[in-house]
Structure 1
């Protein structure tokens, strides 16, 4: 009888501890880290002028983004994040007149996320977001000449993450998919606008860690 009673008490404590992470009134402080290394081999063909071009390159990208969120209801939080990203694209000069492309950007995002968890421990979260990004790019060519481009971007979309809470106060998340629209305005050496729709599944390592606190 004593063992059964102890088991029930421990089960209730475990359930409440797990639920406490995502229940209404709680908060989360987090940081997202990203790294991506991509090799490319692109061939373009101009059928009108019978011209073809081949380029090979390697893109390395790093990012960090601290965040804060507040649970306005059980398993539903709203929050904001700021971020910094740096990328370096190198091209093989044998195939391209452009040898390097460097980029640095700062961003700010507001999001709303709904959690779908199994046993209040593991599952997915998904929801809409809107964001702003300021980016600076530098292109270097084989002739040692360079050009600079600046851009301001406004974006919106839906993210999906895998979420896991190994303990009462610690949470982990990994990016699964992203559906987005982006409007980009260029200044500097190049003027113009660009509109981009994209659907991305896991193609880079983006991991988030959280500290949950509150009630």
Structure 2
């Protein structure tokens, strides 16, 4: 935008040549490093209070504003189909005061029993804004089983968002949910595509810094998870979607 105003330079004792850049939204900042380094098609999921899914070079689809989808404009001025739901808020509500630990037996039990949390815990937004949350097959859950079911619910809500915006190619997850392997694995199972869990928690700040870096490319990094070979994961996702449609 140009250098800081002379009056501000004098008041702050900053160099009068200090440049001022146009800022960008945090989700758009998370997307920018991938725009500069990844080949489309790909998707980026920025997680926080809101879980924002963005598809680059994806499949052509009609967006439904009633399901919280829209076209955003990225930092380069290009349109990006996007969808959102309050996943971080839902996670906080669902896990408030509860242990966030699990073992493999918890996961196996949830998959085998088809323990399901159906949308929506936080109504008024997201792909199912008018549905009230329901638990299925959820009697006598251990804390680990409950955490696994919650993680799967959030992954399937995210997969729904990606489907609504035509997401294709690998999906990179930024933010807190990138540290949840149950979320990552179910997202890979539900989409049938690889999911990369970003190894940095500073994707937003990196994207903002790139505004001042003349577009220096940054390679995407993180552990990649392929769709699970065990059919029980895909079966769980299909059963969840069937229950949602009923």
State whether TM-score is above 0.5: no
More helix by share: 2
More strand by share: 1
**TM-score, normalised by the number of residues in structure 1:** 0.26
Q: Which has the larger radius of gyration?
A: 1
**TM-score, normalised by the number of residues in structure 2:** 0.23
